[in-house]
Structure 1
Amino acid sequence: MSALLRTLRFYLVVGLVQGLLLMSVVLSNRLSGAMAEICAGLLMGGTLLQLLPEHRGQWRTWLASAALALVVAGLVLACRGLPLTLLVLGSVVAGLTLLTVLSAAALPGLAYFWRRFFDYALWVALALPLPWIAQALLKVWTTYHDPLKGGWDALVFFAGPTLAFSLGLFLIGLCLATLLRRNTMTAVC
């Protein structure tokens, strides 16, 4: 299997695991308690892994992902007392995303930190609309299917946005790497 296909498989597995996690939380009706913190931690930890696909074989990356998941879970727990408004929710999500991008930029070292930070921020910003688009399409789909009954419909409904985000990260990363390679070749010539 080529390296490109292994990387694509990695992205899709992470997106599927994230979707399965969300499905299990919603279908079990246990969003209260520790499940919200665990979900947020695993979503951000998985995103950190996806931002560093070339380092996925290193134990340091997995350890950093686990540490980020714990920090995010703690932050979500600390924010539990805040009112659940759209502004507060958006601010918390933006803060957690920024923390994830900062962690991904700092993990390889401090050399070229700001370049990596802006690259990852652009990468995430371009991929963020994809889950919302997938969710809008799935909302139309739910007029004919009930995803809360479980089974295949639930998997499609809950894993669709996370898979769209993962696939978006993969494709955008592929395009950015191609552009970077092309610019490097142009500068050398």
Structure 2
Amino acid sequence: MSATLRSLRFYLVVGLAQGLLLMWAVLYSGLSGVAMSALAAGLLLGGGLLQLLAEQRRQPRTWISMLLVALGAAGLVWACSGLPFSLGVGFGVMAGLLLMTLLGATLLQGRDDLWRRLLGNGAWVLLALPMPWLAQWLFKLWIQHRHLDPFKSGLLSLAFFAAPTLAFSGAMFLGSLWRARRRAQVA
């Protein structure tokens, strides 16, 4: 199997695992709303960090940092749950979560060219962020057209939760592929 297909498989496995765990958390766990939000933030940001560091996925420090970012994200969401909700608070928490993930991934890639890599990682994450909403919107259009209930079928439930995470993973894979080809052209 080529390196590109192995890399694609890694991104898809991460996206599918995130979707499965989100489906379990929402449908079957019985967690409170705050605990569910904290778990979802940890899953999504830990997986996002892992995807940003896909080339270093065999190093134990990558997995340790993924767990630390996931715990930090869950802790931040849990701590901010007592704040009165407004758009400013919501966007502030989201910006803090994204910044925590980007800084963690950038610092683990080394200290040389820190700002360039931080901006590069941030650009790819910002380019990939609309993909989950696009996938969710297309899925909702499809189920409305077919008059289906995604929560009455296990496969449709999985598609409801995994389609956005798989779309983000696909966009992150395309970003890593573009960066690898660009590095090969420069070298």
TM-score by length of 1: 0.90
1:27 aligned onto 2:27: yes
Distance in 1, matches of 2:25 and 2:143, equals: 19
Distance in 2, matches of 1:179 and 1:33, equals: 42
Name stretches of at least 5 consecutive residues in structure 2 with no aligned partner: none
Q: Per-residue CA shift, 1:94-136, capped at 9, x if unaligned?
A: 2201110111000122122112111101110111111111111
Any conservation in 1 of the 2:135–2:164 contact (CA below 8 Å)? yes
2:170 is aligned to: 167
Name stretches of at least 5 consecutive residues in structure 1 with no aligned partner: none
SS in 2 for 1:148: coil
Q: How do 1:81-160 and structure 2 match up within 5 A?
A: 81-143=82-144, 144-160=147-163
Any conservation in 1 of the 2:34–2:81 contact (CA below 8 Å)? no
Code of the aligned partner of 2:24: S
Change (3 A) 1:163 1:59: same
SS in 1 for 2:177: helix
Code of the aligned partner of 1:122: A
1:42 is aligned to: 43
SS in 2 for 1:145: coil
Distance in 2, matches of 1:181 and 1:31, equals: 48
Distance in 1, matches of 2:90 and 2:14, equals: 24
Code of the aligned partner of 2:167: A
SS in 2 for 1:110: coil
Is the deviation greater in 116-125 or in 90-99? 90-99
Any conservation in 2 of the 1:138–1:157 contact (CA below 8 Å)? yes
Distance in 2, matches of 1:118 and 1:99, equals: 14
SS in 1 for 2:84: coil
Any conservation in 2 of the 1:123–1:172 contact (CA below 8 Å)? yes
1:33, distance to aligned residue in structure 2 (A): 4.6
TM-score by length of 2: 0.91
1:15 is aligned to: 15
Code of the aligned partner of 1:120: N
Is the deviation greater in 151-160 or in 169-178? 169-178
1:31, distance to aligned residue in structure 2 (A): 4.5
Distance in 1, matches of 2:51 and 2:128, equals: 12
Distance in 1, matches of 2:175 and 2:56, equals: 18
Any conservation in 1 of the 2:41–2:74 contact (CA below 8 Å)? yes
Percent identity over paired residues: 53
SS in 1 for 2:33: coil
